[in-house]
Amino acid sequence: MRPLVAVRRAAPFDPDALSRSPLCWPLLRALHALGPLTEFPEASSLNRVFDGEAPVRFVPAAPRARRHRGGRIAPVIDPRMLYDGRITLAREVPTRDRCWHDFMNALVWGTFPRAKSALHARQHRAVSARVEPGATALPPARTRELDALAILDEGGVVVLAEDPESLREELKRAHPGALRDAMSRRAATAVVFGHAVYESLALGVRPAVVGALVLPKGDLANTEDASGRDVVRHMDRTLSDALENAGHLRTPDDLARVDISDVRPA
């Protein structure tokens, strides 16, 4: 069993878990919007994480269906009813009760609603394109695009850089300290996006995979005194635009593996 899975199952709810790491700062507004907590909030209560109109609503996840055995015919797959389809078309996020992973996912939704909407819409399109009419099972392996999107969703860090091409190449060459140096010079800002990374930080487990997507810093480069909220909003827009561009993030090679210890709070 993976370390995070074991800790996730054993860890009781702790409303102060996000204070364990300064990298969790982007989620604090969404967390505080839920009010005082002593237990995991129910799915319907998580809708308070949004600042403004909610793009989706959180609904209880149905129990996982058992595999069909004994000659029973499996149902035909309808992409509209799969996870990404429900989010994109019905605007519903199936959410498991008392689950650290889904709780962090809700906080990320409340913090980066545009980017999360764009990501799941793209995943829905990519999955739908692979489902043949009448199919009763999904293809056994994901495409390279779906792998990249999953890594970003679960283990992504978004880096906004003044010179994204140069920094991207340095990170891909695994240049020691490249991200840390760029951030210290204020030439880059890194913000955690993946909800599994936030879950790991909150539960005190080193993240398994952290992939950095480097994007242009844009007009944020001229705002040295930008507030944390400005940074979050800018990143949400920038990442959403990148995800809506089909030419971005076609393969995991578009992500640079980074060490979480090199990331510094914005």
Question: What is the Cα–Cα distance from 160 to 231, expressed in whole angstroms?
Answer: 10
In the chain, alpha helices (H): 3-10, 28-33, 83-85, 100-111, 113-128, 144-155, 164-172, 178-184, 195-203, 228-244
| CB-based contact 140:235 (threshold 8 Å) | no
Query: pLDDT value at position 173?
Result: 87
Question: pLDDT tens-digit profile of 179-210?
Answer: 999 999 999 999 999 999 999 999 999 887 79
Question: What is the Cα–Cα distance from 148 to 159, expressed in whole angstroms?
Answer: 16
Question: What is the Cα–Cα distance from 242 to 137, expressed in whole angstroms?
Answer: 30
| CB-based contact 101:199 (threshold 8 Å) | yes
| CB-based contact 260:212 (threshold 8 Å) | no
217 pLDDT tier (thresholds 50, 70, 90)? very high
pTM confidence score: 0.93
Question: What is the Cα–Cα distance from 118 to 246, expressed in whole angstroms?
Answer: 11
Question: pLDDT tens-digit profile of 32-58?
Answer: 999 999 999 999 999 999 999 999 999
Instruction: State yes or no: pLDDT of 226 exceeds 90.
Output: no
Judged by phi (left if over 0) then psi (alpha if -120 to 50, else beta), residue 108 lies in alpha
- Average of per-residue pLDDT across 152-167: 96
| CB-based contact 55:89 (threshold 8 Å) | no
Instruction: State yes or no: pLDDT of 221 exceeds 70.
Output: no
What residues contact residue 187 under an 8 Å CB cut-off, 6+ apart?
161, 162, 163, 167
Q: Express as a percent the part of the chain with pLDDT over 70.
A: 93
